[in-house]
Amino acid sequence: MRSSSILLAISAAVGAVAHQVELPPNVPRNIDEFRAKHPYKRSEGCGKRPIVQIRASQNDTDDVADDFLAGLHKANHGGTLYLPKDELYVIGKPLDLTFLDDVQIHWNGEVKFTNDTPYWQEHAFAHPFQNSLMFWKWGGKDVKLYGDGVLNGNGQRWWNEFAGLEILDPSNTYLRPILFYGENLTNFAMEGIHQKDSPCWTNFIVTSKNVSFTDVMCTAESNNATALPKNSDFFDSLNIEDLTVERVWVNVGDDCFSPKSNATNVHVDTMYCNGTHGQSMGSLGQYKGEKSFVQDVVIENVWLLNGQHGARLKTWAGPDVGYGFINNVTFRNFWQANNEYSAFIDSCYFNINSSTCAEYPSQMNITNILFENFSGTTSGKYGTAVARLTCSTNPNAVCENIEFRNFTVTSPCAAEGEKPLIICDGIKGGIGMDCVPADSDEAKAALKKKCKAPLAEIPPPF
């Protein structure tokens, strides 16, 4: 499920064997086929820029962090730092790169962080949101990273040592660095780069505006079956405005895309997500007394394979949570295979039991959400239920105008002619399709119809 080759193993749950899944043509199965389908072409620049080069590392322990920092200082205010192909640049200490102004990195080589876990836990930069650590921090204006090189988090040792822990557990003291962290960035672009094996989240962008990721590849693949990548989201954010993500390949162990508190004007177009938790809004409302919101989002042309859920909205409940809203979010043109729920609203996020959630329901409004042109099949984990929408029972939390259009997702567990089921609770008004509450006989029966299906492969040419 974490390999770079996408084999659509429809969930091996108990029950009957389902029918073979018909897959869409020309879906890339690995990063090479992704690059063949979506060749990286450098966007045009403006005129010639002075080129700066630094020495490369001689081996995996040859730290060139000071050289990297000096090179960016020299290239700042109009220049380009050039990292040639087949060269390695090892970073072994935290770097504060928040001084940047009109600088580019032509990134064809590999930048790799050391895996000295005790050192980084003691010396990495920190952010209070979910106890985040960062190898480095980028900031400034007019910053562009482009090329066909690699940014390598060297995450295997981190995954091995973190195995069995939870990032959100208050008792967790084993913290792992984020691969790319940006704060107070204006006009930032990353193009073409392969982000590889992050110990934790891959990108975390904070208090920034006009940010883009284009033709980027993101993978986190373990060589240890007992220590898979965890929390290795492709994208997370706080306080971001005007974000564009286009043509991205993601094969990680957590959210494919997951803006958190205060994201506005977001557009995602063409993402391939394998082994992820889905295209998520949030989680939101985690911190007591804090207002969180996500609004004006379009996510379209997405392939979601071998993961947890498809389109997902997740908000916190409990006695000490925040408040806010998710508004005007469109999920459009989603094709799925081997995901649990193709559309999922979770208003009791992260290990909140039902009694606590009932006593202290979420304070987040969810309004004007559109799920449009959804096709494919679920995994069968939840029987013939293909979507579940659970809104807060809080009388002050509005949940309305949730709409489904052209939603044709099927379940491998359904008998011939049997319609898949949508479960919904707490939504004001209809959703444009039939849906039933979770405590109904129909929902209970659907959830019992678990099944398994034969292995399906994406046929050539992709």
Q: Where are the beta strands (DSSP E) in 58-135?
A: 80-83, 88-91, 95-107, 110-113, 125-127, 132-134
For CA atoms 250, 342, 346, 364, the dihedral sign is positive
Interacting residues of 405 by C-beta distance below 8 A, sequence separation 6+? 370, 371, 372, 373, 432
Rounded Cα distance, 32 and 310, in Å: 24
Q: What secondary structure, in 3-state letters, does 323-381 show?
A: EEEEEEEEEEEEEEEEECEEEEEECCCCCCCHHHHHHCCCEEEEEEEEEEEEEEEECCC
Token readout for 106 is: 């032509």
Token readout for 94 is: 């935290």
Task: Give yes or no: 106 in active site.
Answer: no
Q: DSSP secondary-structure letter at 286?
A: -
| 3-state secondary structure (DSSP) of residue 313 | strand
| 3-state secondary structure (DSSP) of residue 303 | strand
Interacting residues of 358 by C-beta distance below 8 A, sequence separation 6+? 393
Catalytic annotation, pick one of 197, 215, 236, 254: 254
**C-alpha dist (Å) from residue 25 to 21, 178, 408:** 13, 35, 18
Do residues 306 and 337 lie in contact, with contact meaning Cβ atoms separated by under 8 Å? yes
Peptide bond into 28 cis (omega under 30): no
Do residues 327 and 293 lie in contact, with contact meaning Cβ atoms separated by under 8 Å? yes
Task: Give yes or no: 116 in active site.
Answer: no
Catalytic annotation, pick one of 194, 277, 346, 425: 277
* Catalytic site positions: 254, 277
